[in-house]
Structure 1
């Protein structure tokens, strides 16, 4: 069985899913769920309980029409969908009879094989589902009803539903006993009473364009043979009858499962067992998928794996495959859900940054601050440089504020500068207030000139994940300054940076007036710096905008109470128009979370 993906390539079941795990999958495209186009379908030959929607199988009695056809009495499907009879036995890459549409009042010839299939096409003539109609002899139709009803009660997690034709073809004297046995015993022989039915079941979850499904210009050029798909077994009723009378052994079961999932590349699929059941399934159960040391969350067709910060995303051990996977980028895989449907999922791995609940100051070394230097007063040549710490944690919130740095001579204040509060991913080499007042001070009387303390900041921490955005809960208290070139405002930014200094993605939040505690979501834009590099903020030197496709090597995060007050500027009494920050402006951060 092949699973056809919407992104234009074929994913051969779990075999290729496992191969993708050990390679570096490179797509951010989300996979949309396959639509369910069929709303109702009826033929004039259908027996009671003769339709299995999950297996895409219809059971009919032998046609009584003199011309050997069955009539479609009702066929309703979603808008823009259509259906055509399949030519031949290949249900993975079906060849269609464009002259024989399946629609209300249409008459379909019944082949000698005792079954036929029809394909459902979407508005672009792409095959999305294949159904099989199987015929049984009239004299055993009552037995078929019992078998079909009993079989419907017992669901297999591998989608290998028992075909009602299997139990119907057993001897009439033991039909009820065979029906009871069919409900209790999950044998692969009943699952393959018709290989056409089995193939349609296992390929029902995801179908993709095939070379034969594109509508031709004329019917003469419409019938294309499929050379890439593995040929299915014969779907004759006689084979179904012989297989239903005696359950096969477990080894036969595995052989049947492996054969029915054989891909166009002839790779063999081995059934995987559920952790909660010894019953083999045709693929990895979604509920069993996990990563050592991580947690798994499923949202539609996205599987998010969160691991602790610092985990190597290139060497994640995944279960139950027991193999090493590279999940630095999203990877597309196939899983079997709880209904037994094999589908396509996008697996995304990520992590949160340490200390972002802000219940206490981070002690891992991930974050840096200028606050420690602000709190460390220094006296040089009878001139004292002093300020106060401007970072605190309380009630699971971080508060950073903008403070003055004061220079005084023999206790007489004579010079003031303004420094913002900074909490950022990286390191800070300054150790005292003099490093704030005058960056890289060596000797002599401290000057009143501007001091660029970002030169003592090292930006960025190791990081390789690819989040789509971030959520931040914060408030901001605005205090005006008089510098019109550098107006006071709060700042939060995130940049993902490659190893060669390219900004892979970025997002920014700024405020020029006070806001109460609230949460905002910011999308990270790949292939953009969001204007951060040219805004005059404190950033690493030498960065440039990338394409967005580069590998991520580090993450840069900045929280600042005053966006421009990393350049500590001021003057003498009455001359504070150079200040790049508003004294006592505050940024309070409650929580920060990366979104994947």
Structure 2
């Protein structure tokens, strides 16, 4: 679960304003915008977090040690937390030997009083949370609320652009979804997307975009110069999403729901939302007006989907659901009706101050296995590495190579390797294959499928082998992200083929059911670069040059308008952009290698941005 941001009541704000640090008595410690981003205790009751009063309801621990385990406790900035000694929460005394952090076990005092103090970078108390132990109630059901009020933080709205790649300075840890990231000026790297790189280290912090924790991965503080996409119905805002507090408010006027579309047509119903579509295969859900007069609190808005989450940034509400969810038929609460959230829609909610406002509701999802803690076996990702490591002998010729995909330290490494053919132990032919990890499937099973795609019998050919013919590109997907963030490094080894020079490749394409490229974004590097993070805007109505690049892409695609419904997502990570065509000869590379041997692409994190 997560803790939401919100507006402080005047008395709470006043209390915070009176807090000062001991060393700076004339400096007021101002309240911060909810430093606690992700909070989970093993004793926590469902729906037991009240961000407004800073109270956490827990069942009294039943373990013999009477300890509370901190399952998750993460911050959006340079903050820390310690256990409070005693019950003075206005001027708390801290137990410096008992930090509150993920994995910590906190003893519960005999008094049952437990509190945590949040400190800023100067060790000044800026917030205090109190844990209240309550007796368990039998079969009480609480509705989980995962929405929030309007955020005060400013967020640049962003239009769909033609694959410009931005870079930001990154901390030594991987930022959580709501954490603001400050930009620094950095030198631009040559790239097909005009990439600016962002410094980063490989130290990984748990990402709040995990669907298990139910928070978002799409927070960005920077905006890009953008070219508008062809679809006037989509003006994707910044993907930042800061959770906020929720509280009860007096009823206000009724809420209404309407689709945000290029034709400016409005739905007359608040219970079923549909958008105009040029896809004849998309079913139309009949509208209903049964809930047209229902007042909906923003803090109560949620979707009836396990491991989903709702995040509010200004007048944008981002709903994240697990991969594979049907965005056409999401049951929304408390309206208890079905909405089509494949595209942004307009809804009216009452915020915590009792004000009725219109919000743009955007739904999205992350792809499985994109924290790269280990290889994903869900079937979403495919690789040529398994075939590379499977040595075979055909017609007395031994074809061998080695695996070129590995996972470790929450990172994926793919590399470019030689594939060789030898006869009775005498090396006679060499080819070069890149490392590929992509959304789709791969039919090759052994090194002979790399060395000679489509080989059936006879003597393996020394000619070029296009292994992309065994690749099927794309996996089911219907959301409309505005871009993606990727944290990676690249080690460049030059090759001698001037027509197909060595460079890395990362791309995303959204494709319609009739093989139109709805949107795309790409980043490449032709020289080494350390671990860093870049943001790539997806250009709607553009292929970003991918279809004419000689990169490994699906055949039969053409550029769409950007307004088509999305049916699949194509994602590619490659250590050598051109080495899917395995070329070489009996004289070694013979100036034909399309990759540089041992070139490496290391991917640390990948997030879709909405």
**TM-score between both structures, scaled by the size of structure 2:** 0.53
State the Cα distance separating 1:329 from its structure 2 match: 0.5
Whether 1:292 and 2:342 are equivalent positions in the alignment is no
Separation in 2, partners of 1:518, 1:317 = 39
More displaced 10-residue stretch of structure 1: 302-311 or 575-584: 575-584
C-alpha RMSD of matched pairs (Å): 2.4
Greater C-alpha Rg: 1
State the Cα distance separating 1:327 from its structure 2 match: 0.4
Q: Identify which of 497, 501, 523 aligns with 1:509.
A: 523
Superposed CA deviations along residues 48-95 of structure 1, whole A, max 9, x for unmatched, are xxxxxxxxxxxxxxxxxxxxxxxxxxxxxxxxxxxxxxxxxxxxxxxx
Q: Identify which of 456, 476, 485 aligns with 2:499.
A: 485
Separation in 2, partners of 1:595, 1:31 = 11
Query: CA 1:354/1:575 → structure 2, altered by over 3 Å: closer, same or farther?
Result: closer
Separation in 1, partners of 2:588, 2:464 = 17
1:46-57 equivalent positions in 2, closer than 5 A: none
The residue that corresponds to 1:429 in the other structure is 443
State whether residues 477 and 586 of structure 1, in contact with CA within 8 Å, keep that contact through their aligned partners in structure 2. yes
Separation in 1, partners of 2:520, 2:583 = 29
State whether residues 390 and 401 of structure 2, in contact with CA within 8 Å, keep that contact through their aligned partners in structure 1. yes
State whether residues 291 and 335 of structure 2, in contact with CA within 8 Å, keep that contact through their aligned partners in structure 1. no
Separation in 2, partners of 1:490, 1:31 = 27
State the Cα distance separating 1:158 from its structure 2 match: 3.6
Separation in 1, partners of 2:334, 2:158 = 23
* Alignment coverage as a number of residue pairs: 334
1:132-211 equivalent positions in 2, closer than 5 A: 157-158=249-250
Query: CA 1:540/1:268 → structure 2, altered by over 3 Å: closer, same or farther?
Result: closer
Q: Identify which of 442, 456, 460 aligns with 2:470.
A: 456
1:284-433 equivalent positions in 2, closer than 5 A: 284-293=296-305, 294-433=308-447
The residue that corresponds to 1:473 in the other structure is 487
The residue that corresponds to 1:593 in the other structure is 607
More displaced 10-residue stretch of structure 1: 346-355 or 573-582: 573-582
The residue that corresponds to 1:572 in the other structure is 586
The residue that corresponds to 2:7 in the other structure is none
Q: Secondary structure at the match of 1:550?
A: coil
Query: CA 1:486/1:269 → structure 2, altered by over 3 Å: closer, same or farther?
Result: closer
State the Cα distance separating 1:576 from its structure 2 match: 2.8
Separation in 1, partners of 2:594, 2:158 = 48
In structure 2, the gaps of 5 or more residues are: 1-156, 160-246, 257-288
Superposed CA deviations along residues 329-388 of structure 1, whole A, max 9, x for unmatched, are 111000000010000000000000000000000010000000000000010121000000
Query: CA 1:156/1:404 → structure 2, altered by over 3 Å: closer, same or farther?
Result: closer
Q: Secondary structure at the match of 1:511?
A: coil
Query: CA 1:457/1:156 → structure 2, altered by over 3 Å: closer, same or farther?
Result: closer
The residue that corresponds to 2:167 in the other structure is none
State the Cα distance separating 1:269 from its structure 2 match: 7.6
Q: Which has the higher helix share?
A: 1
State whether residues 304 and 350 of structure 1, in contact with CA within 8 Å, keep that contact through their aligned partners in structure 2. yes
Separation in 1, partners of 2:303, 2:429 = 58
**TM-score between both structures, scaled by the size of structure 1:** 0.54
State whether residues 349 and 359 of structure 2, in contact with CA within 8 Å, keep that contact through their aligned partners in structure 1. yes
